[in-house]
């Protein structure tokens, strides 16, 4: 059995302000860009990208 190969490439620009992270994340595979206003929002974006990738792998 081969290990699952889940792969996403991201380019992240973080601008840290006084209280929390803010910045942009770019999915290089999909040429999609999102901005985030907090570290929690950043983590949620990463989590959703990985969950979507897992769903695609299951359906293949």
For residue range 29-52, list pLDDT tens digits in order: 888 899 999 999 999 998 988 887
Domain count, the chain: 1
Quote the domain boundaries for residue 17.
10-58
Q: Is residue 48 part of a domain?
A: yes
Encode 15-28: b = buried (16+ Cβ within 10 Å), e = exposed: eeeeeebbbebebe
C-alpha distances (whole Å) from 46 to each of 1, 4, 27, 37 are 27, 18, 10, 14
Q: Is residue 28 part of a domain?
A: yes
What is the average per-residue pLDDT within 13-25? Answer: 86
Q: Is residue 2 part of a domain?
A: no
Report the percent of the chain where pLDDT is more than 90. Answer: 33
């Amino acid at each position: 059995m081969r290990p699952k190969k889940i792969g996403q490439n991201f380019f992240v620009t973080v601008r840290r302000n006084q209280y929390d992270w803010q910045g942009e994340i770019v999915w290089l595979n999909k040429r999609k860009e999102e901005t985030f206003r907090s570290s929690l929002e950043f983590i949620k974006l990463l989590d959703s990208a990985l969950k979507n990738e897992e769903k695609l792998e299951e359906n293949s």
